[in-house]
Chain A
Amino acid sequence: MNATEKRYEDLITQNEDLQSRLDEAESVIEAIRNGEVDALIVKKDNEPQLYTLKSADQTYRIFIEKMHDGAVTLNKEGVIVYCNSSFADMLHMPISELLGLPFINIIPVAHKQEVSTLFEKAWHSDSRAEINFPGRSRPLPVLLSLSRLEIEGGHSLSIVITDLSFQKEAQQQKKTLEQKDEFISIASHELKTPVTSIKGYLQLLRFNFKEDGDEKASEMLSKADAQVNKLSALINELLDVKKIESGQLQYNEEQFDLGILVKEMVMELLSFTYTHALCYSAEGTCMVYGDRNKISQVISNLIENATKYSPAKSDIRVEVASSGNKACCKVQDFGMGIPNDQQARIFERFYRVGGLLENTYSGLGLGLYISAEIIKKHHGKLTVQSEYGKGSTFQFELPLI
């Protein structure tokens, strides 16, 4: 045998070897496809390694089995070839009964046409629809998301079924709340619009008189404007009470330093307070978590009360300090004070301190009620210490962070 012949024979042998390996590989793939293989032993680094087919896709299987959404695979005739237990639970049927069933059979009559059209569409592109499944006590709203699957040259459809009942319930709750909110919005709009016009025209008139040098008219209009501001504040109080009653006073919470807020409020109020001396003192930082605007509403209510119920030209002390795990703000006046028997009632709605001067002081008696509610919502407490004829100290505490 010469060299060429030897080479030819080698090639034949190698070819036969390769052919048989290929045949073997093909028959293995065929067996895997037919579900006849449970595991494979593969030589890797001369060490045999066992691969079970179950372990290869186990993660995905578990994921699909355990997910809350229903998962279904349909063959091209629309028959269920696979479904997970969530899907079976949604329909209250055992998986065994569902397999082999045309998907369209489980769709309520009202949705059959819609779902058929959806299937047609799904063969070309992903499609979605919201329908109701027949539930046990009431229909179950679901979202069907369909995608075409290409498996081994064949076509099938996968459907993910999302339970929308929680979402629908939340939407319903939101709607109810919005309807309640609507009354307050309308009342707010209807009450404030005329006030806006009155205030606007008064200010324009005042501006014109001032330009013309008519100080007297300008001053009168300024007084009228101040009264409009009072009216506007009363409208806000009434609306706040309405919101508190219906649980709709909204809080936008953030982290802030109570000391800085009180200082800012005092500075701002100083420019309007001509009759009283406001003294402010603070110790260190007092970081709290809450609605800055609402807390400033409380502070200005307490300072305004102190001004209102104490004789002109006297001091008002505003103090912020921290003790333990609480931030504390005190507003002290040296005015008329509150009789002992009435102290407990001043935080009630529409309650106003009685006595000789009861009609001298304006207001609806809502300010302290609103303030107490705001502080309560912040897990704090609004309290009073007072001595009739000597003055009052209002104090609120908020948890420090």
Chain B
Amino acid sequence: MSKIFIADDDLDILEILKMMLQTRGYQVEATTNATDILNCKGDRPDLILLDLWMSGTDGRDIFTRLRQQENTKKIPVIFISANSRLKDIAAEYAVDDFIEKPFDMNFMLNKVKGILECS
């Protein structure tokens, strides 16, 4: 089953996303520290859900670094945020997809499924 990595600084949202994704049988790894994603070594995730605005870290910087690193540059990334400019930011960074907070469970799961099927 596909492996999904989630980074969000809100523990509740991290738990929610993890439980929702687990209802579809995905293997989920969740972290509040986005830099963890950059250090993923052997166990490369199939998809990354990245919060744009985490305390101390800007999701955009993490995304830029993910795209620069050889071992992470091809992993699809979905930005997830309450930022009202999310759509523009997603377009500017040419990210694979974006999900606005608050999100609908089925909407989120369908997006994840769609991206995983494409890649």
Contact = CB atoms under 8 A, between A and B. Distances in A.
Given A185-B83, A200-B20, A207 B105 contact: yes
Nearest to B80: A196
Q: B10, B17, B82 — which one has the most chain A CB atoms within 10 A of its CB?
A: B82
A300 interface: no
> Size band of the B side of the interface?
20 to 34
Interface in B4-31: 10, 12-13, 16-17, 19-20, 23
A188 B52 CA distance: 13
A200 B53 contact: no
A228 B12 CA distance: 17
B3 to A, nearest CB: 21
Given A188-B82, A200-B12, A200-B16, A195 B102 contact: yes
B85 interface: yes
Contacts, number: 66
B101 interface: yes
A197 B105 CA distance: 12
A175 B57 CA distance: 20
A198 B91 CA distance: 28
A361 interface: no
A204 B16 contact: yes
Contacts of A196: 10, 13, 16, 82, 101-103
B49 to A, nearest CB: 13
Interface in B71-95: 82-85, 87-88, 91
B104 interface: yes
Interface in A210-263: 228, 232, 236, 239, 243, 250, 252
A243 B83 CA distance: 13
Contact of B16 (A191, A197, A239, A293): A197
Contacts of B23: 207
Nearest to A187: B84
> Size band of the A side of the interface?
20 to 34
B53 A189 contact: yes
Contacts of A252: 87-88, 91
Nearest to B19: A204
A193 interface: yes
Contacts of B105: 200, 203-204, 207
A200 B84 contact: no
A23 to B, nearest CB: 64
Contacts of A192: 82, 101-102
B13 A189 contact: no
Nearest to A236: B84
A293 B87 CA distance: 10
Nearest to A200: B16
Nearest to B86: A188
Contacts of B53: 185, 189
Contacts of A104: none
Given A189-B53, A204-B19, A250 B85 contact: yes
B52 to A, nearest CB: 9
Contacts of B10: 193, 196-197
A330 interface: no
Interface in B93-110: 101-105
Contacts of A198: 102
List of 3 A-B pairs having minimum Cβ-Cβ separation, nearest first: A200-B16, A192-B82, A196-B102
18 contacts: A184-B84, A185-B83, A188-B82, A189-B83, A192-B101, A192-B102, A196-B101, A197-B12, A198-B102, A199-B102, A199-B103, A200-B13, A200-B105, A201-B12, A204-B16, A207-B23, A250-B85, A293-B87
Interface of B: 10, 12-13, 16-17, 19-20, 23, 53, 82-85, 87-88, 91, 101-105
Given A197-B10, A198-B102, A200-B13, 17 more contacts: A184-B84, A188-B82, A189-B82, A193-B10, A195-B102, A196-B10, A196-B13, A196-B103, A197-B12, A200-B17, A204-B19, A204-B20, A207-B23, A236-B84, A243-B84, A250-B85, A252-B88
